[in-house]
Every structure is written in C-alpha cells, then in structure tokens.
Structure 1
Amino acid sequence: MFALGIGIAAGVVADVVFGDPRRGHPVAVFGSGAAALERHTYSDDRRAGVLHTTALLTAVGVAGAAAQRAGRRHGTAAEAVCVAAATFVAAGGTTLCRTGERMAELLRRGDVEGARRLLPSLCGRDPSVLDTPGLTRAALESIAENTSDAQIGPLVWAAVGGAPAVLVYRAANTLDAMIGSRSPRYARFGWAAARFDDLVNLVPARITGLLVMACAPLVGGSPARAWRAWRRDAARHPSPNAGVAEASFAGALGIRLGGPTQYAHELEIRPTLGDGRVPEVDDLVRAVRLSRAVQALAAGLATVVAVSVACRSGRRVSARW
C-alpha cells in the first residue's frame, strides 16, 4: 500500500542524482514513435488529431497500468520500483535547473552565441534574434513554465494515479510540444493534444503558483507580490497554465516578464507579467534556486499525500475485518 509514496520518493531521488539520460530517453523514444505514426495519421483537421492523440495516450496508459499491475503481483517493492521508474522517466526538473545554470554561466561570460545554441534545450523560440536580455527573459520564462510542466505536473499525477497517470501526463506534454503549436501545419491537427495538455496541467500549474508563494522568501522574494502578479496578470497569458507559473515567478522575483516573443512560425506579443524591472542574469540564477525549492517542497508533499492515502486505505481495510 505504501508503494506509491516510496516509488515517488525514489523516482525524485533518481532524477536528482542522474538527471535526464543523454541517450535512449524513453520520452525521446515515444517522440520518435509519435512522429512515425504521424506520417500515417496526419490530416489537416481536428478529427485526425483527436484519433492520433487518443491512440498514443491510450497505448501509454495501458502499458503503464499493465506494468504497475505486474509489479503489484510481485509485492510492494516491485510495485514501488515500477512507480519510481515511471516518475523518473516523467520528471525533468534536475536537467531543467542544470540547463538554466549553464545558460546563466554563458551569459555572465558574454558568450551570446553559446547561449543561443543552448536555448533550444529550454524552449522553442528563435534564438538568432535574441540578445543577452532576450535570452535571459526566454530562459527565465522557460524555467518558470517548466517547473510546473517538467516536475510539479509529474509529481501530482504520480500521486493521483501512479505509473499510468504520470506516463500519460508526460506523453501528453510531449505531444503538445510536438504538435500543439498554432503553426499552419498543426493549428487543427494539434488541437486535441494542446487542449488535453491544458486540461492535465490546470491543477499542477496552480499548485506551482502556491508553492512559488511559499518558497519566495528563500530567494529574497515576496509571496504577496507573487500572489498579486498571479491574480492580476496570469489570465492575460495565451496559456491558461503557463501564465500562472510565469506570473507568480515574476512577482516573487520582483521582475517583469512578457513582451515580443519570436517563434519559428510567428511573432507573439505576450502580455506583461509582473511590475518589476527587466530581468538580469542574476535573476535567472534566483529563478533556478526558486525552482529547486519549489520542486523539493512538491516532492515532499507528493510523498506525504501518497503515504497518507495508503494509511487511510489500510485503516479502512482493517476496520472491515
């Protein structure tokens, strides 16, 4: 019964120690499979996208459920290993923060070209048009958004539904990154992937906002300003979830995010989030520290929630007997 809590804790520790595998990452394998399937399913309409997304997410969910059931049949330890492996596969917080630190180091050295080469590891913006302030803002916004997407989301769904839920969450997030854009090719085909990703991130994004408020003092930030920016600015962001994470980070750090944002397919004019100064490289470093604190607190809470649920379930079973 305690397999879920043990597995989540072990998966987080594995992510902290190892980070994302450089080769053969299961998420990359899934992405390759999704791209191969797309060659057969693509059509410029929503129905094709719904079928494509449903087929992939169903396959992942069935595989995750089968693996966890197989582990359960072999005892708590085997089930915990299954949950730990799924959590490790889905979590990306350690690599996110390491990349943010590397970006800050390059910018401090004035290596703009190196920072431009690194930026695609964080987000899909066109780095060729960005100078040091632009790269700093892009990296910081990505740290904020992906604190929710790459770590809080996996922890929430692992605590809620174990291996199948966390793997479906990561698959949905990956599909959104692949086909969820508003580009001419994917505006209709990727609609289902984008909307499903919005749905599964509604709760994690708001938990992220609350945790940012709680952890803001650890980086010299303000919980009150984080709440104010979230309440005032988040709804203006094109994403119902990224706006929460980015606005709360901006308020907590006392900076201003948003503005012209160049992607490969279009230029977006993002709304202003926060009412502080333009972010500097030191603010990117603070954002990474804030992200690590939020991730650590979330991991502890997810483990406690999973263990508490197991304890209550155990007491109910005992009461019946």
Structure 2
Amino acid sequence: MAADRRYAYGAAAGLLGDLLLGDPRRGHPVAAFGRAAAAVEGALWHDHRGWGALHTTVCAGGAVALGALAARVVRPSRAASVALTAAAAWAVVGGTSLAREAQAVGAALTAGDIEAARARLPHLCGRDPQALDADGIARAVVESVAENTSDAVVGALVWGAVAGVPGLLGFRAVNTLDAMVGHKSPRHRRFGWASARLDDVAGWPGARLTAVLAAAA
C-alpha cells in the first residue's frame, strides 16, 4: 500500500472516530502540547522576533519530529501505519466538539437565555461575551465555526492526507501556537510573530479548500 494511501485512509478513519466519539475526554494531546509550549515560552520569552521564532521551531519542530519517529517505527506494518494516522487524526480533528458547542450557544439564543449563551461562548472563541448582545454572539459563533472548520477539520485532514502523522501533529501544533502567542498583545506582538506567520502559510491550503466546499454546499 502506497504511503499516501495509508495517510488518506488513516485520516479518513480519524475523522470517522471524531464523528462517532468526539474529542478524548481526558488527557487530550492538544492540551498536553499547550502546557509544554507554555513551559517552553516561559524559558525562552524575550520581546524579540528571533526568540519567538526559536519557540516556534522548538515546539512545532518537536511535534513534527515526534510524529516522524512514531511513523517510522510502525512503517513496516501497513495496518499499524493506518492505525497510527487514524489515532493522530482523531486527536487533532475537532469537528464534533465544534458543532456541539455551536449548537449549545444557538440553543441558548433560541431560548432567549443570553446569559447561558455568554457562558458557552468562550468554548468557541476568545471574544469577551459580556461585551456582546445576542446578534453579536450569533456573529461570533458563525465566524468561529467558519474559522475552526478550516483549522480544526479541513486543514488538519489535508495535512494528514499529504504528510501523515508528522503533518497532522505539525499542523495542529502550529495552529495551537498561533492561538497561544500569535496575537498582538504587548507580550506577544513580537514574540508571536513567527507563529502567526507560519500558521498563515500552513493554513492556506485548508482555507482555500474550505471556501470551495462552502461554495459547493
């Protein structure tokens, strides 16, 4: 079985796992990566783009290296390669949880319970819910679902189908780093520059494909 077929089959199986099971309930790998990245940031932080680039290289490069090592170990077995890719895809794809949270906010808005909607909104995006009325919350949900469909579903699957486990872990690492440091707060304006730019590049294929799929739907 060609390697690219293993990648594609594994990515498809991981998507099915997400649809059936949702995210892992405990010990989510993305949360573990976030804690590790925060620790590396604490050790490396300087208000300088170069130090931020080093942080991005260490964290994202480490995720890619881990994925490459794991893929190499199971390479002799076709079934193990597909299973590993499926497990990685299940861990990094977040479509089911995204839909669940969006539906919860929508149900609260439909019921006229804006406080409940505000309480759920932080599960979807980082906007201040207290500053939003019902229309603002609805817009935030739509925009967050659109962005995260690209980042947490389509983009991850594209990289998984093309590059297998290293692609899945690397893409999710870059996306997580962008969420953590790739914004223009005083602390991260310079330090997070590399993560933000790398996320733009890595997310481009998924964003284009998401737009095509949305137009075709």
TM-score (normalizing by structure 1): 0.66
1:40 and 2:46 matched: no
1:15 is matched with which residue?
18
Larger Rg belongs to: 1
CA shift for structure 1 position 8: 1.4
2:143 is matched with which residue?
141
1:177 and 2:179 matched: yes
Give 5+ residue unaligned stretches, structure 2: none
1:6 is matched with which residue?
9
Once residues 99 and 207 of structure 1 are traced to their aligned partners in structure 2, the CA distance between those partners, rounded to angstroms, is 23
Alignment of 1:93-242 (within 5 A): 93-215=95-217
1:92 and 2:83 matched: no
AA aligned to 2:203 is N
Moved segments of 4+, more than 4 Å: none
Choose which of 64, 68, 82 in structure 1 pairs with 2:84. Answer: 82
Q: Does the residue aligned with 1:13 lie in a helix, a strand or coil?
A: helix
Once residues 47 and 135 of structure 1 are traced to their aligned partners in structure 2, the CA distance between those partners, rounded to angstroms, is 37
Once residues 144 and 61 of structure 1 are traced to their aligned partners in structure 2, the CA distance between those partners, rounded to angstroms, is 26
1:56 and 2:63 matched: no
Indicate the structure with greater helix content.
2
AA aligned to 1:184 is P
CA shift for structure 1 position 58: 1.1
Q: Does the residue aligned with 2:187 lie in a helix, a strand or coil?
A: coil
Indicate the structure with greater strand content.
1
Once residues 147 and 114 of structure 2 are traced to their aligned partners in structure 1, the CA distance between those partners, rounded to angstroms, is 23
AA aligned to 1:53 is T
Once residues 168 and 3 of structure 1 are traced to their aligned partners in structure 2, the CA distance between those partners, rounded to angstroms, is 18
Once residues 194 and 11 of structure 2 are traced to their aligned partners in structure 1, the CA distance between those partners, rounded to angstroms, is 29
Larger mean Cα displacement after TM superposition, 150-159 or 5-14? 5-14
Q: Does the residue aligned with 1:123 lie in a helix, a strand or coil?
A: coil
RMSD: 0.9
CA shift for structure 1 position 5: 2.6
CA shift for structure 1 position 11: 0.4
**Superimposed CA distance per residue, residues 243-265 of structure 1 (whole angstroms, 9 cap, x where no aligned partner):** xxxxxxxxxxxxxxxxxxxxxxx
Once residues 86 and 139 of structure 1 are traced to their aligned partners in structure 2, the CA distance between those partners, rounded to angstroms, is 27
2:28 is matched with which residue?
25
CA shift for structure 1 position 23: 2.2
Residue pair 2:56, 2:195 contacting (<8 A) in 1 also: yes
Once residues 49 and 14 of structure 1 are traced to their aligned partners in structure 2, the CA distance between those partners, rounded to angstroms, is 35
Identity of aligned residues (%): 50
CA shift for structure 1 position 166: 1.1
1:269 is matched with which residue?
none
Once residues 157 and 4 of structure 1 are traced to their aligned partners in structure 2, the CA distance between those partners, rounded to angstroms, is 9
Once residues 185 and 161 of structure 2 are traced to their aligned partners in structure 1, the CA distance between those partners, rounded to angstroms, is 34
Q: Does the residue aligned with 2:75 lie in a helix, a strand or coil?
A: helix
Q: Does the residue aligned with 1:187 lie in a helix, a strand or coil?
A: coil
Q: Does the residue aligned with 1:44 lie in a helix, a strand or coil?
A: coil
CA shift for structure 1 position 68: 0.9
Q: Give the number of equivalent residue pairs.
A: 214
Greater RCO, CA 8 A, separation 6+: 2
Once residues 76 and 5 of structure 1 are traced to their aligned partners in structure 2, the CA distance between those partners, rounded to angstroms, is 13
Give 5+ residue unaligned stretches, structure 1: 216-321
